[in-house]
Amino acid sequence: MKINNEPKLLPVRVYGDVILRIKSLPVKEFDDKLREFARDLTYTMYQRDGVGLAANQVGSTQRVFVIDTLWSREDSVPNPIVMVNPVILSGEGEYEMEEGCISVPGIFAKVKRYNYIKYSYFDTYGISHEGEAEGYDAVVIQHEYDHLDGILFVDRISKLSLLKIKRKLNAIMSTAENGQNIRTEIFKVNE
């Protein structure tokens, strides 16, 4: 199969969409189709100004996500890392920061995660890699990894924080249930 030249902007699924709650399945074929998907996933992440994006956020149940933790900094050049079948091998310490998610537009809340992790993954050619990450980088990987197990960052916040954002979540969910793929911009305007 030949790879199409133009990267595609994939529609992003939002809170309330069942695909965000599904445990994604391991990738078995490291082929052109996977690499084309990874390219589109990466393109969509940058277009939506994200530092990470998981496959189920764009409607695919493969265990794949892309991250670029340097992207938000000024004069940064794209340096995406696509992780296929990733595993968090171990975690240590605690790190708390405010998180957001392209699938939960307009909502930000503090989440506690490991401060230091060791992980492994395959690239899109099936080559295995191991790495370690700390602080912000570790948070981004843990956030994206959660997506592959159907977990959202709002599942990890305090009950009080959840109560505060419940109305906003319901608003997002009602749109998802209508089967529409809502863009972040729409919510920003309505807030």
Cα–Cα distance, 164 to 109 (Å, whole number): 10
For residue 104, the minimal CB distance to Zn ion (Å) is 7
Q: How far is the CB of 50 from Zn ion (least distance, A)?
A: 8
Q: 144 an active-site residue?
A: yes
Catalytic residue among 144, 177, 185, 191: 144
- 27 vs 51 by CB, closer to Zn ion: 51
* Burial of 188 from C-beta contacts in 10 A (0-12 / 13-18 / 19+): exposed
Size of the chain in residues: 191
Q: Which residue is nearest to Zn ion (CB)?
A: 101
Which residue's CB is nearer to Zn ion, number 106 or number 126? 106
Q: Which is nearer to Zn ion, 101 or 157 (CB)?
A: 101
CA distances from 139 to 1, 3, 57, 111, 145 (A): 36, 32, 18, 9, 10
**What distance lies between CA 112 and its chain's CA centroid?**
17
Report the interface residues with Zn ion, using CB under 5 A.
Answer: 101
State in angstroms the smallest separation of the CB of 147 from Zn ion. Answer: 6
The least CB distance from residue 116 to Zn ion, in Å, is 21
d(CA 171, CA 4): 37
Question: What is the spatial distance between Cα 144 and Cα 41, in angstroms, rounded to a whole number?
Answer: 13
Catalytic residue positions, numbered:
144
